[in-house]
Structures are given as C-alpha cells and as structure tokens.
Chain A
Amino acid sequence: MACMSRSTWRLLLIVVFMQGLAMSIARAQVLAQAAGFDPLALESAPVQKIESQSNLKMFVEGAIGTSNRRYQLGDADLRRASFDFNYSGRIGQGLRFVFSDRVDNIRPTSPGRDSTINSLREAYLSWQSDSGSDIVDIGRINLRYGPGYGYNPTDFFRDGSLRAVTTANPFALRENRLGTVVLRGQHLWTGGSLSVAYSPKLAKRPSSDGWSLDFGSTNNRDRGLVALGTQLSESVSTQLLAYKEQGLSPKVGASITALLSNAAVAHAEWSRGSEPDLLKHTLLLPESKSTRNRFAGGLTYTTVGKLSLTAEYQYNGFGLDKSAWAALAANAVNQVNYLLQAQRLQDQVPRHAFLVYATQKDVGIKNLDLTAFLRVNLVDQSRLAWVELRHHWPNFDLAFQLQQNIGRSTSEYGILPDRRVIQLLGSYYF
C-alpha cells in the first residue's frame, strides 16, 4: 500500500504542478495583455458550410518511440502507422449505413501476428421509424455497455474484440475494438429504452491473418443480450442487463450514474454469473464453474480550473487473490499465459484493483491537454503509470506519451518485458 501511495502522490503532484503552471502562465498572459482591447470590436470566424447528411471522419497517425526493457533485452525502437476511417450516412428513408475500419502497421511485430492488422470495427445497416422510437440493426456492431473508466463488468461483448493494442489508455483502447455481428432491435420512449440483441456463432476460432474479418474472435458462440435503460430522475440513470451465451447459465448486470453536485458524478456497475475458472482454463486443468460478482465504482470531480479527477475501485470475483497469484508466480510460463488470456478477454487480472484517471485541459497554453492515469493491482501492488501531453491544432495533434510499468518481477506489471515506453505521436485529421 505504501508503494501505491507513492505512485498516487507522484501522479497527483504532476497534475497539481501542471495546474499550477497553467494558472501562472494564464496570469502572466493576462498581465502581458493588459494593454487592453475592445471585445465588442471583435469579429466572428467565417461560418463554415455544413454537409449534414453524413458523418465522415478520417485520420492518419504515426508514432515513434522507444521501449526500455527488462531481462537484459536492451532498448527497442517502436514504430506505428495507422489509418482510421469512420462513415455514417443515410441511404434511404429511415435507413443508414455505418462503416468503421482501422489499419495498423506495428513494429516490432508481436509473435505470431502480421505486422499490418486490419480491424473492421463496424459495418451495419440501421433502420429507424419516423419518430426515432423503433430501431432495427443488422451487421457488425460495437455493443458497448457500462460507465466504468478502467473496467466494465457489464460490457459482455468485450472479450476477443481487440486485434491491435496500440495504447494502454483504457479510453483509447475502446476506440480500436471489433464489433460483434448481431441482429438488434430497440424501442425507445421518453426516459428509457429496451434493446434485444442476438449474436450468432459464425466461426470457431480467432484468426491471426492481419486482413481477416476475424469473426472467430467476436462470433465464436451464440450469444444474446437484453438491456433496459431508465432515467430515474434528472440526476440518476440506470441500466439493467441480462446476458446468455451458449453453454453457460444466464448472467445479470446493472449500472448506475448519478450527478452528486455541480462538479461531481458517481458511477457504479456490477455483474453476476457462473463461469469456468480462468486460471484452470488457461492451465488446461479440469474446469469447474462457479458463480461470482464483478464490480466497478467511482467518482469524478471537476475543479473550476478544468481538472477532472476520477478514482475507481475494481473487483473481479474470478480474478486471482493473493495466495492464488503467489502460487501462479512459481511458474513464469503459466503466469505469462494467464496474463495473455486475461488480456485477450479484456478481463481484470487481480481480485482487487484501483484506478486514478486525470484530465486537464489547456495546461499552461491553449489547446495543450494533459491525460494521466495510474492502475494499481491491489493484490501484488504493481502499478502502471501513464502520462500524455497532447497539443491540438485545427487539423493536427502532436502527443508525447510516457508509460512506466512498476512492480516485482513476479507481479502483473513487473513481469512485462517493457519497463518504460516513451512515444511521440502525430495525428492528421482530414
């Protein structure tokens, strides 16, 4: 816990320093500009013509960096080039088409994977009644649920959905995931909605082919989901979910978000179900099913100075506790296999974990944003710290990222080959 406190304090110190810097520079700017001007003499920027019938968003991104590695592996150069495409447009009365795809070329290449990986995230048709209250979708859809920042127990379609891992930031990771092929119907009324989704089995196993549609990752069993969303009041909303997949008994889940004050928002999500033990499954031991809970709950507070801080506790009843983790640590190969399996399922490794997530807009200068987070494994006390400074120009972003994996050699983050990763990214938006 002492280690956790040190890391948390370090992160908070960085954030507080940045905010102090921002305020000092802002004050200096005000003094420098004291010459004065007439605000009523200012003129608005030219009004842009809007093409409103479709949403098209495209960007290219390049990253260079270096990884400082453990196990006497030395430093490794990192390179990535990505193309990201999103389109959503009307193709008829009440009918729209959504297409979302991403191509990543990543060096060095992960073992057993192609260097170029295509992720067809979404491709579906959506029909909507004139009132917008009845909707039917068919195709590959990113069904994402849950208000949690770093862990989503009610996000039942998350497993196997990431083909290329390009960041440790949980928010950015969600942008790259594959959707699931589903038939979905939804009915909305004032203050609520009910949706039903059916996802059929289309393939048996995941594909390592970089250009594969990879239905084996997202549609390797029959699955169904019912979700009921309700707005209990202006400041409280909930979601209830029931999920069933082939070969397993149904799972239930619920989530809630609440506005606590002008500056504070709380969130919580929970799921319960019966599953095979992940550890036994990974180690090819005789499997047994057990019924357990998953939970994530947190609070976000925003200061007047645009600093948003989120603290989130995460619980995975299927994750390893201290004694099980210690037993697994006796065999490094088993431990790595277990971590890789948890990563593929996007599930939480330890029984208990904690996340602090901070964002600060306009750090010192306009359009310079800071994002930082700290993940703490409360079972083995290992930590992942991540900081990004990102400057926006009208069509271009430049970002500097630093990631540090901290912990003993047998811990979740300490066992990773990468000790420290530093990257510079540039993104151009068309």
Chain B
Amino acid sequence: MKKLALLFLSCFIGGFASAGPSAEEILAASDAIRNPGRPFSVTVTLTEFQGGKQVDTSTLVSYSRTQQVGGQFASLIRFVLPARDAGKLMLKNGNDLWFYDPASKASVRISPQQRLLGQASNGDVATVNFAKDYNVKLLAEEEIKDGHGKLRRARKLGLTAAAADVTYASIEMWVDAGNSQPIMARFYAESARLLKTAYYRHYQQQLGVERPTETVIIDGLNPQSVTLMRFTDYTARVVPETWLQRDYLPRFQPE
C-alpha cells in the first residue's frame, strides 16, 4: 500500500513537472527572442560610460546567420563610426575570429581575449545562441527588477559551458516566466569571478517578434564601467555562408 502511494506521488510530481517547458526549451525560446531565426543585419550603437559619464561611442553593422554545421550564429561586423575605423571588419565564427583593415589589406587572426570594441567584448556584439553552447538547468522562479526598475516574475536559469572554448564558463539568466523574454544575465569566468551583468530592455517589434533593442552591460570588476548597446534597423538579408570566412573579408561590400 505504501509503495503504491509512493508510485502515485512520483507520477503526480512527474506529471506536474512535465506540464511546463523544460529549461532547454525556455533557453531556446529566449534565444529566439534575442536573435531572428533567419539571416539579418542590425545596426549596433555602443555608448561607453565611466562613473556615469559618457566617454566613447561607436557604430557598427552586424550581419549574422546560423551556420549549416552546428547551428550556431556567425557574424560579420562592419565598423562605421568613428571615422578612423570606418570600413574595418570583424568576423566571428565561434572562436574563429578575424580582424580586417582595408588600409593595410591585412586579415589578422585574433584571440577571443583581444578586444576591438573598448569595454564590450567581441562576443557581445556578435549574435550567439546560448542553447547551442551551454547546458542549462532551471534553478528557481522569483521576482526581479528588470532594466526599467519594474518587478517581474522570472525563471532563473543556470548555464554551464558545454565545451571548454566558449566565452563564459557559466551564466545565470533570468527570463520572463510568462513569455521567456530575457531580462537579466550574469556572466562568470571559470574562477567564478563575475565578468559582467547584462540587462535586456526596450522591447520593440523587430522582424515579427518583440525583441530587446538595448542591452546594458555593467563590468563585473569595475561597476563604474557601463556600456549601452542599442540595436536598430533589424533587416532580413541574404547572408551567404561564403561571406563568413577570412578570404571574403577584402571582398565585402555593404548593402
């Protein structure tokens, strides 16, 4: 009789648990909100602050598509402003990172630690599907303040790197409990040091979905260092896979 009761209880709990989406499904849904499901371009305006004072600004255009092998995004990023950097390109295809300067005609392989964009890391401006690179667990459901200071019911996800070569060892991510919109994330190094905190905000209709059009990135070591990334002009594009390699960089012509 006791065994029968336990069996009933476990079936009940199991049934309850399977009623909601899995952690993987929540993360994939959150990825799909941040990133369009087809090749696209988006203009990224980076504004850097130190202690609340604006110290730098730059403008880029990012062309992205998912790769046929692996399904992760690859991005070609064109520097537009400031004027001295106009025309320079960065290619990010996983950890395959290249910087191209049209003045010297040099395509230089760079490491993920080499930064081209001030405080923002190269990975911050490139499009990334976290579900492809991280194992995920549902940790809790709680109320948090979003990027506008508003309380929201959120699911807290714990992400751990599925491979050694991804940018962050682990991530804590809060997504809206109702619609899986990403609200906030904390990114950690292997040493468990907080590298950065990101708030996803200013949701607007872009390419058919409500997407965050601004990310606030707060440096983990120096919270006085803040970068705002503004995303505008989402446009569906043809981005052939042949564009996303070193030998195409000298050929790239903006559309």
User: Which residues of A pack against B, CB within 8 Å?
Assistant: 26, 29-30, 32-33, 35, 37, 39-40, 42-45, 47-48, 50, 52-57, 59, 86, 88, 90, 96, 126, 128, 131-133, 135, 142, 144, 147, 171-172, 174-175, 186, 188-193, 195, 229, 231, 234-235, 237, 257-259, 261-265, 267, 300, 302-304, 306, 308, 361-362, 366-367, 392, 394-395, 397, 427, 429-430
Contacts and interface: CB of A to CB of B under 8 A. Distances in A.
Contacts of A52: 61, 254-255
Interface in B105-122: 105-106, 108-115, 118
Given A45-B57, A47-B232, A131-B242, A262 B47 contact: no
A302 B110 CA distance: 9
Given A88-B253, A96-B253, A132-B243, A429 B84 contact: yes
B245 A131 contact: no
A395 to B, nearest CB: 6
Given A53-B254, A175-B104, A192-B247, A262 B113 contact: yes
A265 B109 contact: yes
Contacts of A30: 222, 224
Contacts of A192: 245, 247
B50 A366 contact: yes
A153 B82 CA distance: 34
A29 B51 contact: yes
Contact of A50 (B61, B149, B222): B61
B134 interface: no
20 contacts: A33-B50, A33-B224, A37-B224, A40-B147, A40-B199, A45-B57, A50-B43, A50-B59, A53-B254, A55-B254, A59-B84, A132-B240, A188-B247, A229-B246, A237-B109, A237-B246, A265-B110, A302-B111, A304-B113, A427-B84
A311 B83 CA distance: 31
Interface stretch (B93-101, B135-143, B151-159, B173-181): B93-101
Given A50-B61, A86-B103, A40 B47 contact: no
A40 B149 contact: yes
Given A147-B108, A234-B95, A128 B80 contact: no
B37 interface: no
B81 A235 contact: no
B45 to A, nearest CB: 5
Contacts of A259: 95-97, 109, 111
B234 interface: no
A189 B224 contact: no
A429 B43 contact: no
Contacts of B240: 131-133
Interface residues of B, number: 70
Contacts of A174: 103-106
Contacts of B68: 190
Contact of B242 (A32, A132, A427, A429): A132
Given A42-B226, A257-B109, A308-B114, A47 B45 contact: yes
Nearest to A267: B109
Contacts of A258: 109
Contacts of A234: 93-96
A43 B232 CA distance: 15
B251 A392 contact: no
A148 B105 CA distance: 13
Contacts of B251: 126, 128, 132, 135, 186, 188
Nearest to B70: A234
A362 B225 CA distance: 13
Contact of A142 (B96, B105, B223, B241): B105
Contact of A48 (B80, B115, B216): B80
Contact of A42 (B49, B59, B110): B49
B214 interface: yes
A362 B50 CA distance: 13
Given A42-B52, A88-B87, A133-B240, A144 B45 contact: no
A261 to B, nearest CB: 7
A43 to B, nearest CB: 8
A48 B223 contact: no
A96 B255 CA distance: 12
Given A30-B224, A40-B147, A234-B94, A48 B111 contact: no
A296 B211 CA distance: 48
Most buried by B among A30, A186, A192: A30
Most buried by A among B43, B93, B251: B251
A392 B56 CA distance: 10
Given A55-B254, A126-B251, A147-B108, 5 more contacts: A26-B222, A57-B83, A186-B251, A190-B68, A366-B48
Nearest to A394: B82
B77 interface: no
Contacts of B103: 86, 174-175
B5 interface: no
Interface string B191-203: 0000000010100
A408 to B, nearest CB: 33
Nearest to B218: A39
Most buried by B among A59, A234, A392, A427: A234
A50 B253 contact: no
Given A26-B222, A45-B54, A237-B109, A40 B216 contact: yes
Given A90-B253, A133-B242, A430 B83 contact: yes
A148 to B, nearest CB: 10
A188 B245 contact: yes
Contacts of B113: 262-263, 302-304
